[in-house]
């Protein structure tokens, strides 16, 4: 029970070991910690003071959240960080997904280790203005499972905030695990809700994911963190084959026509086994109105949609930015627009630098 954390075996409605009524309130009756809480010295948590000092050089702190796992939250965190770094901002990416850290791989930093200096833990750098911190750098074997209870996860998050020598940062992007659990409460408590610019929530279009986004929005409202917006990821699938056929037809005819029917007939005749593929547009059911409707119902900004794009998946697998070449032709412009909208909403301006230019 260090530094004001509520112990795991505490009674329900525990007032917290730092509260004046710790060990003395009605809810403390029968709690195994009652005696210690009643007699322990009270005062500001020294760790929180150290975190505030460390964070004094960080201009913007943004949390990336999702209701469900696998919706593309880490992919978004990684690409947002690449994009901000390409805009010449000084960026830190903190992975607090303690049990499933995927950020090292998505930033191309697998196998890297953290180094210590007298200023604290040094982040692992992708480039001089993009530093990363993750438990993934601490595991001797990437296949190791991290099976930790809440207090241990909370302690590591505190240590990340207190001991990592980020230096001057324009942005600290925090990639959280899905849901609303220990890690989320911990990061909000440690940073202080008021010092966090806000949260971006990533979802897919279908109801099962959106239901959990509503919970995420409620969590943000409860803890006093602003929702900067919702990103609908894996939103539809662009079909290059269809586009190519359309282009050919346009070129042949010299005018623009909807050639969907023409392509369908052509494929039906030449390769009927592909009919299902060319008919597919929406992968996930969005008949409920998707994130757009959910956002207007919940009164939070909608930032935009990112389509399913095999090239984005590949960029994430290979740990590289999707913005540096023209390969991620469908997802990169969508992500770029979302980032520009976010910056505009926050009153921050700087153009995305084209690294190929
Ligand atoms: N728009 C997209 N198009 C294609 N693949 C995508 C897209 N977004 C994400 N992916 C891929 O989907 C997989 C899951 O994404 P990711 O790990 O970012 O999800 P997550 O929400 O962070 O999951 P978890 O929280 O469970 O770690 C990854 O392989 C990623 O590359």
| Model confidence, pTM | 0.80
- Show binding-site residues for ATP: 67-74
Distance 169 CA to ligand 1 centre (A): 26
pLDDT digits 0-9 by tens, 339-350: 999 999 988 876
Distance 17 CA to ligand 1 centre (A): 39
Q: Which CATH class name applies to 48-237+289-345?
A: alpha beta
pLDDT digits 0-9 by tens, 215-271: 999 999 999 999 999 999 998 876 655 665 666 666 665 665 556 677 777 778 887
Q: What is the pLDDT of residue 15?
A: 83
CA atoms of 220 and 216, how far apart (whole Å): 6
Place of tokens 């099962």: 208
Distance 76 CA to ligand 1 centre (A): 8
**Edge-to-edge strand ranges of the sheet holding 130-134:** 124-127, 130-134, 91-95, 169-175, 58-66, 198-203, 227-237, 302-308
pLDDT digits 0-9 by tens, 180-228: 988 999 999 999 988 999 999 999 988 888 889 999 999 999 999 999 9
The three-class DSSP label of residue 57 is: coil
pLDDT digits 0-9 by tens, 89-99: 999 999 999 88
Give this complex's ipTM.
Answer: 0.98
Contacts of 30 (CB under 8 A, 6+ apart): 11
* Residue extent(s) of CATH 3.40.50.300 domains in the chain: 48-237+289-345
pLDDT digits 0-9 by tens, 91-150: 999 999 988 899 999 999 999 999 998 899 999 999 999 999 999 998 877 777 777 776
- Show binding-site residues for [4Fe-4S] cluster: 14, 28, 31, 37
Pocket residue to mutate for ligand 1, from 67, 75, 317, most atoms within 8 A of Cβ: 75
- Average pLDDT (319-327) is 91
Tell me which of 151 and 189 has the higher pLDDT: 189
> Among 68, 275, 96, which Cα is nearest to 175's?
96
């Amino acid at each position: 029970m260090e530094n004001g954390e509520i112990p795991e075996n505490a009674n329900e409605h525990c007032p917290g070991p730092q509260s004046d009524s710790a060990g003395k309130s009605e809810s403390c009756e029968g709690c195994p910690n009652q005696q210690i809480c009643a007699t322990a010295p009270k005062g500001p948590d020294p760790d929180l003071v150290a975190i505030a000092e460390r964070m004094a050089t960080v201009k913007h702190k943004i949390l990336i959240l999702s209701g469900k796992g696998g919706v593309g939250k880490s992919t978004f965190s990684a690409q947002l960080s690449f994009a901000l770094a390409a805009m010449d901002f000084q960026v830190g990416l903190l992975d607090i997904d303690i049990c499933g850290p995927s950020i090292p791989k998505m930033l191309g930093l697998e196998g890297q280790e953290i180094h210590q200096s007298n200023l604290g833990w040094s982040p692992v750098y992708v480039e001089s203005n993009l530093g990363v911190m993750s438990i993934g750098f601490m595991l001797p074997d990437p296949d190791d499972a991290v099976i930790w209870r809440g207090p241990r996860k909370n302690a590591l998050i505190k240590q990340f905030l207190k001991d990592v020598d980020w230096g001057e940062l324009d942005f600290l992007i925090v990639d959280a695990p899905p849901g609303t659990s220990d890690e989320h409460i911990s990061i909000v408590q440690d940073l202080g809700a008021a010092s966090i610019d806000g949260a971006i929530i990533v979802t897919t279009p279908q109801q099962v994911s959106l239901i959990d986004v509503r919970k995420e929005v409620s969590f943000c409202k409860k803890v006093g963190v602003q929702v900067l917006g919702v990103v609908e990821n894996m939103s539809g699938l662009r079909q290059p084959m269809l586009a190519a056929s359309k282009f050919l037809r346009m070129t042949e005819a010299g005018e623009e026509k909807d050639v969907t029917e023409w392509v369908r007939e052509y494929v039906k005749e030449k390769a009927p086994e592909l009919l299902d593929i060319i008919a597919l547009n929406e992968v996930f059911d969005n008949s409920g109105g998707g994130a757009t409707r959910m956002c207007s119902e919940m009164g939070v900004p909608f930032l935009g949609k990112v389509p399913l794009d095999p090239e984005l998946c590949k960029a994430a697998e290979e740990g590289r930015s999707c913005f540096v070449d023209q390969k991620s032709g469908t997802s990169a412009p969508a992500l770029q627009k979302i980032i520009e909208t976010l910056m505009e909403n926050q009153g921050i301006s700087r153009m995305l630098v084209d690294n190929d230019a």
